[in-house]
Amino acid sequence: KKEVQEVQEVKEKEQRQEILIIAENTGFFPSTIAGQMSEVGYKVTIAELKMSKLFELEGTYEAIILYMENEAHGYAQELLYLKDKAVEDNIPVFYIGDDFEGLKEFIPSLIVRGVFERPINVKETVSKIEEYIKINGRHVKKKILVVDDSGVMLRSVKGWLQDKYQVILANSGAMAIKYLTINRPDLVLLDYEMPVVDGSQVLEMMRTESEFSDIPVIFLTSKNDKASILKVMALKPEGYILKNTPPEQIKKEIDDFFVKKAYQDGQSMM
């Protein structure tokens, strides 16, 4: 029984999400933050803000915590390397320091999900980072409701997105509304032209119900003339995508939407 328990503990340790803390020196505060992150269940790696140390990093990180005591311009090469890694692996960055304006020259603010000026309350800071990761972390698949009366379109969109997102399908506006009453997706991809209950009616119903009035909607439409586009945008969705857009571009637009939303959520932490 003891052996089984030990094996289970090893497995749980291996499955813990990993946080990367990068600091100019791995002294008291970075170690304190690491200890607090470990206490709430994360595996933590600490690395110095040096190219030789950054090159050695090989983990799949849930987040990067960048702790800096000095101005950012003294670490241009290292920060640009971090920016590339964060973008390539879609890793959120949390900055602890006093030179956010300088940091933005090397790491765009869109990548930074939280900024904490020193001195910090370590427990509070870790709690906010943990809250963000629980909602928006790499382990969480965003849920997308795709609404279209075309079975071919539904299957196509699911095929394009299912590797990265949890995709739910509805073949009518009525089915979409029924789904929304018991589930909450992170995004609705909504066909504008559908029989009986069209996309505009679905959106209007959504906006009148407080339980899901704030769920973001992006329209799918086959019309690209100016009058149709103005009509679609008058309903104030988060955007629209033409159905004849190449699949890779559709995926990019969805990815970009969630990146921007994550940035806005991160801004609310500051």
pLDDT in tens, 79-114: 999 999 998 888 899 999 999 999 999 998 888 999
Please give the Cα distance from 103 to 98 (Å, whole number): 9
Nearest to 96 by CA among 73, 60, 52, 126: 126
Nearest to 194 by CA among 213, 231, 221, 230: 221
Helix H or strand E segment including 35: helix 28-39
For residue 67, pLDDT over 60 is answered with yes
Dihedral sign computed on CA atoms, order 166, 170, 174, 175: negative
> For 62, how many CA atoms within 13 A lie in the half-sphere containing its CB?
22
Can you tell me which residue has the tokens 């973008």? 87
Calculate mean pLDDT across residues 138-162. Answer: 91
Q: What is residue 9's predicted lDDT score, i.e. its pLDDT?
A: 44
Please give the Cα distance from 270 to 262 (Å, whole number): 13
Q: What percent of the chain has pLDDT over 90?
A: 57
What's the token pair of residue 207?
């906006």
What's the token pair of residue 160?
């394009």
Burial class (CB in 10 A: 0-12, 13-18, 19+), 4: exposed
Instruction: Enter the pTM of the model.
Output: 0.66
Helix H or strand E segment including 143: strand 143-147
Q: What is residue 269's predicted lDDT score, i.e. its pLDDT?
A: 57
Measured between alpha carbons, how far is residue 25 from residues 53, 117, 176 in Å? Answer: 12, 18, 53
Dihedral sign computed on CA atoms, order 169, 175, 181, 187: positive
